[in-house]
Amino acid sequence: MSDNMLSLYKEGANKIEPETELTRWRLSTVEGRQKWYYVPENEECAREQNALEAYTLGLNTSKFFPELPKASTAQEAVLKAIKFFSGVQAEDGHWPAECSGVLTLAPGLLIACYVAKVSLPEEVKKEIHRYIRSRQLPEGGWGLHLREQQPTIFGTALNYIAMRILGYGPDHPDIVRARISLHKKGGALVTCIHLGKVWLAIVNVYSWEGMNAPFPELWLLPTWVPGHPSTYWCHARHILLAMTYCQLNRLSAEEDELIRSLRQELYVEDYSSIDWPAQKNYIYEADLQTPHTLVLDVFFALFNLYDRYHLTSLRKKATAELYEQIKADDIFSNSTNSSPAGIQNNPEYNTCLKKAHSFFKCSQIVDNPPNYQRYYRQMNKGGFPFSNRDNNWIVSDGTAEAIRALMLLEEQCPFIEDHIAPQRIFDAVNVILNMRNSDGGFSSYETRRGSWLLEAVNCAETYGKKKLSGVICKIQIGDPDWNVAWIQAQEMTSYNYLHMLALKMFQKLYDTLHKALQYCRNTQKAGGSWLGRWGVCFIYGTWFALEAFACLGYTYHNGLACNEVTKACAWLVSKQMKDGGWGEEFESYKLSKYIQHTISQIHQTAWALLGLMAAKYPDVHVLERGIQVLIDKQQAIGDWPQGDIAIGFYKAGTLHYSAYRNIFPIYALARFTHLYPDNPLASQHLKNGPINNFKEGQTKKH
């Protein structure tokens, strides 16, 4: 893949000039809540644009971050990076960064606003339009995700509708190109996945009769009944809730001139002549990642039959239950629905670290939602959220990493005096213990509830099965990186908070740690790697697994290590590229096997180095080659260039996390400087003290 292709993931397939004056955008952050707002040209800006805003918008940042000399050592590179990274911290203590990738989310927002008659500021609409245009493929359509180079019906239809909602007429050149692309594939009637059909029906450009009937009465059955929605993974459960409720109530936009026009534009056939019931199982091949099983088709046939003769009273009761579940989630999530190391001795960063510590403290969930078990939620008191505190959905690895960071800050930063209460550490440990699966592994949001048989009725259609991606849409399975975050946090907890936890849960902690490590042993691939299920992919999983083994003392000693660690390190070394870095393609997810990238990637190079260093891999030359790649690719202001996609999910999904390119190189460079302070590539000790409190002259030998 060429460097030009990699740039597509940052700027899109088309370089589109801004439609607003970017210097007038401001970002407000309060306890993790981010809100961009535009200061109109006829108003005076209350403050100057800051470094975070300018950097995020791609503006000139020279007045904030002067160009610095090229680093020659890991120490110089990490200090250069930390100086930059501390400059893009938000006022409330966190680091905002772009999370994008699903190209149907922005259209969904616009459709919801259009149907609900909610107006958006003109400047917001202009920039959404610019984003949509920037992601339009040369053929004229859109895919589902950033990584796709071929249009889908789902992606093209929704983005087409979004552009029309934004006020662009049917003769706009980009809309003409999109319509030609759509019609070449047979129009929207060659239709998309079930979720896409629901969106089209909500816009009132597709009939609710053109999709398989739901079975809402399933929500009324006891939870022990096989296939009960309470056993679905939380995202699948809540998407199903919303789709089913909309379908039952035939929620659609009021017919207007735009909708009448769209009915003619989206289809090759005359809209009034379409046989809608015949379209129920008709899905365009490029949109279909998970074909229907025979079992699923049988269930759909039964649901369609029952829908014709259902009991009205029972259907009303089921609909009311759906609405009750939706209302509860809105209440629980406030209608949002689902750290640098080694600088604690430098006063320049005291404020930065204090703000980060304060943000962690205010982000913890301090109590469970009311009557949460009634709504199939799991306890979350003490956890840390995937998004912000308002969102209220905690994740196991985020909770583990957060308490680990909190304890590090409080242990190593004497200027932080307002420590978190020990009871809150106990609550965090307790909530993660509650998320352990029976096999010793940990899931993300909730424990595994359903059986593998649910995959036979996986109706997600666009996301993959376990055989293809390792994660399935109906149930949640464990993952090495969730396990490892937990093990790392508990390894720290065992030492630093033992006085509090020993009497309450030490034996449970001990058992959990060793069962989690056994889970890692059981899931190692024959070649020595692990399949990660968030970062791409085998490099990511192998790094985390090596961290887990290291936490419990399984590292190299006198050139030897246990079999699992030896195989994992050998596998990582075998994947090192000619330039000294590592790189893995997103296709590793799709094929469930390692696919080498043509270009070494910053984030994957850092992951591989972190894994090898955690294991105390004895061949330092391997590490030096990787560290040199990170040093060489660092840019003048201290950050790193954007590489390829770092996040993948469910076979087809990709996400762009813009902070990964900076966070993980800092981590890897700091660890190298920590472990090898006398290595010429690491340089000597920091001006204000050695990294991670190493004593003068101290070194680690492997």
Give strand pairing partners of 618: none
Closest CA to 397 of 476, 286, 498, 343: 476
CA atoms of 186 and 105, how far apart (whole Å) = 24
DSSP state of 394: B
H or E element in which residue 80 lies: helix 74-86
H or E element in which residue 676 lies: none
Beta strands in 332-464 (DSSP E): none
H or E element in which residue 302 lies: helix 294-309
Main-chain dihedrals φ then ψ at residue 518, nearest 5 degrees:
-65, -35
Main-chain dihedrals φ then ψ at residue 25, nearest 5 degrees:
-85, 140
Q: Contact, 530 vs 544, CB < 8 A? A: yes
Can you tell me which residue has the tokens 């308002």?
390
Q: Contact, 504 vs 543, CB < 8 A? A: no
Q: What angle do CA 375, 377, 378 make, to 5 degrees?
A: 150
DSSP state of 254: P
The region that residue 260 occupies, defined by phi over 0 for left and psi between -120 and 50 for alpha, beta otherwise, is alpha
SS (H, E, C) 525-546: CCCCCCCCCCECCHHHHHHHHH
Please tell me whether residue 656 adopts helix, strand or coil conformation.
Answer: strand
Strands of 653-657's sheet in order across: 99-100, 653-657, 647-649
For residue 3, indicate whether it is catalytic.
no
Q: What angle do CA 99, 149, 5 make, to 5 degrees?
A: 70
Other residues' Cβ atoms within 10 Å of the Cβ of residue 435 = 27
Kindly give the pairing relationship between strand 647-649 and strand 99-100.
unpaired
Beta strands in 609-673 (DSSP E): 647-649, 653-657
Q: Contact, 531 vs 525, CB < 8 A? A: yes
Kindly give the pairing relationship between strand 99-100 and strand 653-657.
antiparallel
Residue 133 CB contacts under 8 Å (≥ 6 apart), including other chains = 12, 14, 16, 163, 174
CA atoms of 572 and 17, how far apart (whole Å) = 42
DSSP state of 593: S
Please tell me whether residue 34 adopts helix, strand or coil conformation.
Answer: strand
Give strand pairing partners of 35: 28
Catalytic residue among 92, 174, 329, 397: 397
CA atoms of 432 and 206, how far apart (whole Å) = 44
Q: Contact, 152 vs 143, CB < 8 A? A: yes
Q: What angle do CA 421, 422, 423 make, to 5 degrees?
A: 90
Residue 641 CB contacts under 8 Å (≥ 6 apart), including other chains = 602, 633, 635, 661
Please give the positions annotated as active site.
Answer: 397
